[in-house]
Amino acid sequence: MCGIVGIYYFDKDKSVQEGDLRLMTDAMAHRGPNDEGFFVQKHVGLGMRRLSIIDLGGGHQPIFTPDKRQVIMFNGEVYNFVDHRPTLLQKGHQFSTKTDTEVVLHLYQEYGLDCFEKLNGMFGFAIWDEDQQALLVARDRIGIKPLYYYRDAEKIVFASEIKSILALPGIRRELDMEGVSAFLKYGFTPAPYTVFKNIHKIPPAHFLRLKGRDVELKRYWKVSYQNKFTGSEDEIADGLYETLKSAVKYRLVADVPLGSFLSGGMDSSGIVHLMSELGTEKISTYCIGFGKGFDAYNELEAARRFAGDYKTDHHEILVVPDVVDLFPKLIAGLDEPLADSSFLVTYLVSKLARESVTVILSGVGGDELFGGYRRYLNVQMNKYVRLMPCGSASMWCATCSTACRSTATAACSTTSVWPRPISTPPAWRCSSSTANTPRCSRMISASNWR
């Protein structure tokens, strides 16, 4: 990963100091150990730390257009940059690197704010446009890459991490009670909130445009459900398979070693299957397991079996119960509190993977896209249970699962948490017998659920 920072003074006579930008980039040096770069032009200053993925020797930032009228600092990856480069060359654009960063800059130069329609990827970037005298700061459609900003009467400061903003002298660390309240309600702070006063998240699919004293925060994309796919079940399955395959293919573009997390579940196993089908040589896979007493959470056996089927270079790490010493380091790495203990195991398996690869593919997001969480089923069933008389709902709750957390009183509540039916298989979880299945529609056959 990389990281970007920036300072924009509303007063054009006030100059950004490169030393301030260095304080900010130093605070997130862990995001980019390979390179750093700075751009300062009077009241505008940009900085970045780089983890090199593509064009290792030629991707130094900032990157300029040939006439030096636009400049970009970029964090992330735009996967379809190879599709746009030939078109831009035909239109007369000249490139000095092989990076996706430079393609993004030229897409902006060619299409302006309509460039976002062309971008398929995860990113946070800043472009200073000398002709427009405007600064554009943008975040990807889903919000995979973080981007925060601070605003007061004098300036706007932005960065990939909150700690970089707080590193700038004069910015006070004060709690924002709305952000704290949101965290206590949701277990995280949704955009635009943070737990710090005057520090906000740029929401997913939004850009911040600064020109003079004008500040515009605008949404450039949203999910549309207007165009429904009406093909047959086989056509939908084949279309989904090809879409997933295309997504994996895009993410295999790198000039550094890459691998995949592997739990033995549907999401990560499907990714490894597609990597193999796309001809990836010797796939490196990584799995995390737990010691005695945590057998119900241990996925090592399933992952090991799947890795054997695909002959991957498989790595495992065993988590021991005593991880207290890790917490100070992990908490220091978080910009805000997070009520999800999985960040602990994510850190450990990522640390294991970093010993041999730089880029990791993972199945994160599969449960959100395909309804894999039990709570999605609970919401659906709750619509019907709320129609039952209180006594009947309570009886249903008691017979459905011995682990039911609802009570007769809660059964009448519109916010009660309902148990999962014990006959329902976990979504997106299958055995390794699906290893050589040619289509994802076959990978979710009922006979494969375990």
Question: For residue 51, which phi and psi values (nearest 5 degrees)?
Answer: -105, 115
CA distance 385 to 411: 8
Task: Give the tokens for residue 353.
Answer: 């993977």
CA atoms within 13 A on the CB side of 430: 21
CA distance 212 to 133: 8
Please classify residue 170 by burial: count the beta carbons closer than 10 Å to its beta carbon, then call 0-12 exposed, 13-18 middle and 19+ buried: exposed
Strand partners, 334: none
Amino acid at 399: T
CA distance 246 to 261: 19
Is residue 4 within 8 A of residue 47, CB to CB? The reply is yes
State the Cα angle at 122 between 85 and 221, rounded to 5°: 90
Closest CA to 96 of 106, 110, 109, 87: 106
β 214-219/206-211 pair status: antiparallel
CA distance 213 to 38: 23
DSSP of 343-394: HHHHHHHHHHHHTT-SEEE--TTHHHHHT-SHHHHHHHHHHHHTTS-HHHHH
In the three-class reduction of DSSP (H, G, I as helix; E, B as strand; rest coil), residue 140 is classed as coil
- Active-site residue (options: 2, 287, 400, 430): 2
Closest CA to 128 of 224, 47, 33, 187: 47
Please classify residue 327 by burial: count the beta carbons closer than 10 Å to its beta carbon, then call 0-12 exposed, 13-18 middle and 19+ buried: exposed
Q: b/e for 98-113, b at 16 or more Cβ within 10 A?
A: bbbbbbbbbbbbbeee
- Establish whether 440 is a catalytic residue: no
* Residue 44: count of CB within 10 angstroms of its CB: 22
| Catalytically annotated residues | 2
